[in-house]
Structure 1
Amino acid sequence: MQKQRERGLPSAAPTVKERQKTLLRLKRMLIDHEEAFLNALVADMRRPAFEAFSFEIALLLNEIDHVCKSLRKWSRPRRSCQFKFGYMEAIRARRSPYGNVLVISPWNYPLQLALMPAISAIAAGNRCVIKPSEYAPATSELLRRMVGRTFPPEVMMVVTGDAQTAKLLTSLPFDLVFFTGGQETGKAVSQQAAEQLTPVILELGGKNACILDETGFSPAAIREIVWGKFLNAGQTCIAPDTLFVHESVYERTLSEISSALTEFYGDAPKENEDYARICHVRHFQKLLQLMTQGNIRFGGACDADDLFIAPTVLTDIPPGSSIGQEEIFGPILPVIPYRDLEELLDSKTVQRDALVAYLFSTHKQHIQLVRHYMRSTTVSVNQVIHHGANPRVAFGGVGRSGQGSYHGQAGFLAFSYEQTDYRAYRYLHVSDKFPPYSRQNMQIVRRFRKWLL
């Protein structure tokens, strides 16, 4: 980090071409070591290779391609010129990097969520230190070695360790901290950064409601929902957390969920190579406790030695249960019937500021109602997950789901600030703006305020 700070002077900020070269080196690292990263993800979470490539490596490669293509345009200074009374003003505003950025990443997508914010940080001209999760040790160690071989430490480096390492890093004088993880840890990171007035970007997750109204039901819609929920064994921050289904299609929905689960994972999902595992024991135990807070309609099988929990559907959730309040983050899908959409939203059962809200509907008024109600940065209609893979869609939280957005141009803006060069060219001395003031001065200001100020 000291080497990064030594290069932290504004004059040392890399050019657009240098940033593009750095990003292309990162791309080459991912391509050259694709097999090693896939094997590490299997070791950490038994992640199917298809899911690991699609939602870790491919997303990063697409992001780098998009950023490299657009970076010169995003970096172009904004200029304006205007005549005032007695002088002409010239304004040149440009994006400037914060300097040294700390990225603290989680375990559920240990490669993608470590490097995606790093891509934004590099694109904006920063130096980057990454602290990956200790709960994904194989991926974290491989990332440390590969980044160390590919980049000098003053450009990018990876520091491995436990929660105490992360706490130590957040106490250091970084210029910006980016954190992805749970709400309680996010609060602690934010409070520690606040002691040094360090700006923080937080991606915290939340209970992403998925609403299926009477017009949105179809076998295809159910397969989308089931796929998005049980992808990576439910350990996805934008996975549908709870499914709210109109009572007129409730039983049909449960039947289609059962069919989709059998189609995707068979009668023995534990033996299915396309189904992942829970990342660590503590989270496994939490999920087992949540499974007791309703009737198990499908699934429910588990194996502590293998960290396996079968895709599970819960019904008859008692009011006030913690599963209705806490983010599940696992392969447990509560399915709750509702009678009227307005009543459902008025009951405040749906978290307004979750990372994303999902709605399956063809009813225009229902779509508008949900859009008006939600405070999430994204409302996704008739699709799940895919918005998070689009570099043109800002990804971030509001309120309990976080603060700040990234991906694509949103990331470039989040990891930089606007710096303005202001210059005045005088052609006439105006003495009336100086004290002592007179009534005539006030009349002039009122009449010519647009040209005077």
Structure 2
Amino acid sequence: MPEEAFLQALPVRQREDLYSTGSPSLKTRKEQLLKLKTILLKHEEAFMEALHSDLGKPAFESFSSEIAVLLNEIDYVCRHLAKWMRPVRSRHLKMGYVETVNRNRHPHGSVLIIGSWNYPLQLSLMPAIGAIAAGNRCVIKPSEHAPATAGLLEEVMNAAFTPEQVTVVTGDARTASLLTSSRFDLIFFTGSGETGKLVAEQAAGQLTPVILELGGKNPCIIDEKGFSEAAIRDIVWGKFLNAGQTCIAPDTLFVHESIFEKTLNELSAVISAFYGDRPQTNGDYGRICTDAHFQKVLEFIRQGDVRHGGTHDRDDRFIAPTVVTDMDPGSPILEEEIFGPVLPVIPYTDLNTLLSSGMIQRDALTGYMFSKDKNGIQLFKDHMQSPTISVNQVIHHAASPHIAFGGKGRSGYGAYHGKTGFLAFSYEKTDYSAHHFIRFRGKFPPYSERNMKALKKLRKWLL
């Protein structure tokens, strides 16, 4: 079968199989989730090797930021799924009748999941957990820019699941385009804002709902009371995890002028303590995923004064953890998401002035602040439109199944993780019935002034 016909047939096959068998039972959904857990555990070493091949990820980061969070999500979902699936029933006394309302969550049908290259395992399978929990069938398209992980996913997933249940499709941007123009019931996309717009445009042609997980310039603020060695360690860890290729990494650091030089000195000290004087030879530090992205990140470095790092090796796709200052206003490094191991540090004098300056993207995926000032923290929270604000900590919120993960505006729309994921991948279906004990003819035409007066008096009984 030609590629185009095969890809377009996938959602049809999955949808027909779902309709013929009905919405999966709790037992079936949990069996599929536990099968996914078994895959992760059985092929743990192979996945870590693939992630190292694609991104130079150390085993610790591969397990903690990809495999462990998936295992935890599966455990959490399996523990609570019965409660989430339980119908919600209610009865209401109305004018002349009693209404009964049964609300149930139903799967959308066949769901397309397009993963990203920076966390190619987690961002392919985390949405699938929510989709399977909600009773859907899935087509997963991992990123072609992480070929080792994508190939392994295709091999182990397609061996464990039938194509009607879950199937992994590998390929390039053309494959992704063919999929997004097919008749799926829901599309979940993780990636850049520009590509997200294209996905949404293609999906609109089929009236397919879309969840977009994008990125943004996540601000991180340290006020005059927020400095500590522990704070700097957290920021350095969060920024340079996965060589900076994390959508919720602190993108730009704003530091009160009274602690500016002290912060720069501590940043250098912590980076050296983490990765040594020759980070290229350090096994705990990753690599840039593609040559094109390497060049883009390198251009950012050239837009400021390097205060730490700056070394690079194109052949190895290595860029050292880098701190830059003194960027010109309007420079791309101040306008675009960096998505790499380059941390711009900018001094500020007053929080109100900083927040009103337009330098902070209010609808970034997240925002960070290190402070002990409750008023300043509240001011920052009120200013930001991000769905999640983290105070005195970075990154950790994204690993919690208790917290919805998603964006707003330029950082995307829709959310998932935990119960939010179950809700995102299902829709509410209502069964409504009424038991009449009195039938009022006054609701039918011809209407009268008398009936209008009665209607106004009895209005509440209609709701």
TM normalised by structure 1 equals 0.99
Residue by residue over 1:272-308, the C-alpha shift from the partner in whole angstroms, topping out at 9 and shown as x without a partner, is: 0000000000000101111110001110100000000
Question: C-alpha distance in 1, partners of 2:230/2:265?
Answer: 13
Q: Which amino acid aligns with 1:447?
A: K
CA–CA separation in structure 2 for the residues paired with 1:131 and 1:376? 28
How far 1:191 moved relative to its partner? 0.5
Distance in 1, Cα, partners of 2:145 & 2:439: 67
CA displacement at 1:7 relative to structure 2: 1.4
CA distance in structure 2 between the aligned counterparts of 1:122 and 1:5, rounded to whole angstroms: 14
Tell me the secondary structure at the aligned position of residue 432 of structure 1: helix
SS at structure 2 position matched to 1:196 = coil
Give distance in 2, aligned partners of 1:11 and 1:169: 24
Question: Is 1:323 aligned with 2:321?
Answer: no
Match of 1:191 in 2: 201
Structure 2 residue 125 is the aligned partner of structure 1 residue 112: no
Question: Structure 1 residues 384, 452: CA separation in 2 closer, same or farther (over 3 Å shift)?
Answer: closer
The answer as to 2:346 corresponding to 1:339 is no
Which residue identity is paired with 1:408? G
1:252 to 262, 268, 275: 262
Find out whether 1:301 has 2:317 as its counterpart.
no
Q: Does 1:26 align with 2:36?
A: yes
1:31-62 CA distances to partner (integer Å, 9 max, x unpaired)? 01101101111111110000000000000000
Q: Matches of residues 213-228 of structure 1 in structure 2 within 5 Å?
A: 213-228=223-238
Listed one character per residue, the Cα deviations across residues 219-262 of structure 1 (whole Å, up to 9, x for unaligned) are 11000000000000000000000000000000000010011011
Tell me how far 1:376 sits from its aligned partner.
Answer: 0.3
Structure 1 position 420 matched with structure 2 position 430: yes
Q: In structure 1, which of residues 55, 75, 79 is the aligned counterpart of residue 85 of structure 2?
A: 75
Q: Give 3-state SS (helix, strand or coil) of 2:315's partner.
A: helix
Of 258, 283, 296, 2:293 maps to: 283
- Aligned positions of 1:81-96 closer than 5 A: 81-96=91-106
Cα deviation for residue 11 of structure 1 reads 5.6
Instruction: Name the aligned partner's letter for residue 388 of structure 2.
Output: T
Q: CA deviation at 1:428?
A: 1.6
**Counterpart code for 2:435:** Y
Distance 1:414 1:348 in 2: 32
- Mapped to 1, the partners of 2:120 and 2:330 lie a distance apart of 33
Letter of the structure 1 residue corresponding to residue 243 of structure 2: A
Aligned to 1:363: 373
Q: Give the CA deviation at 1:5.
A: 2.1
Could you say what secondary structure the match of 2:113 adopts? Answer: strand
- Cα RMSD of the aligned pairs, angstroms, is 0.8
3-state SS of 1:392 partner: coil
Q: For residue 179 of structure 1, what is the aligned residue in structure 2?
A: 189
Deviations 1:397-442 (A, max 9, x none): 0000000000001101111111100001111221000000111111
The separation in 2 between residues aligned to 1:445 and 1:221, in whole angstroms, is 63
Change over 3 Å in CA distance of 1:390–1:448 after alignment to 2: same
Q: Could you say what secondary structure the match of 2:129 adopts?
A: helix
1:230 aligns with 2:240: yes
CA change 1:394–1:7 in 2 (3 A) is same
Does residue 144 of structure 1 match 2:144? no
Q: Which of the residues 259, 264, 273 maps onto 1:263?
A: 273
Distance between the aligned counterparts of 1:452 and 1:242, measured in 2? 54
SS in 1 for 2:441: coil
- TM-score normalised according to structure 2 size: 0.97
Whole-angstrom CA distance in 2 between matches of 1:93 and 1:348? 44
Query: Which amino acid in 1 is paired with 2:446?
Result: P
What is the deviation of 1:10?
7.8
How far 1:93 sits from its partner (Å)?
Answer: 0.5
Question: What's the offset of the Cα at 1:396?
Answer: 0.2
Misfit runs of 4+, over 3 Å? none
**1:208 and 1:280 mapped to 2: Cα distance?**
23
Structure 2 residue matching 1:306: 3-state secondary structure: coil
Residues in 1 aligned to 2:215 and 2:462: alpha-carbon distance in whole angstroms: 49
The separation in 2 between residues aligned to 1:216 and 1:78, in whole angstroms, is: 46
SS at match of 2:443: coil
Name the aligned partner's letter for residue 415 of structure 2. Answer: S
Q: Tell me, in whole angstroms, the C-alpha distance in 1 between the residues paired with 2:155 and 2:343.
A: 38
| Residue 241 of structure 1 pairs with residue 276 of structure 2 | no
Distance (whole Å) between structure 1 residues aligned to residue 332 and residue 102 of structure 2: 53
Question: 2:92, 2:248 → 1: CA distance?
Answer: 46
Q: Name the residue aligned to 1:126.
A: 136
Q: Distance in 1 between matches of 2:84 and 2:261?
A: 50
User: C-alpha separation between the residues in 2 aligned to 1:84 and 1:369?
Assistant: 46
Aligned residue for 1:7, secondary structure, equals helix
Please give the secondary structure, in 2, of the residue aligned with 1:305.
coil
Instruction: Work out the CA distance in 1 between the residues paired with 2:58 and 2:173.
Output: 28
Q: Decide which of 364, 368, 387 is 1:377's aligned counterpart.
A: 387
C-alpha separation in 2, matches of 1:171 and 1:404: 20
Structure 2 gap ranges (5+): 1-9
CA distance in structure 2 between the partners assigned to 1:226 and 1:86 by the alignment: 66
The aligned counterpart of 1:135 is: 145
The separation in 1 between residues aligned to 2:76 and 2:358, in whole angstroms, is 38
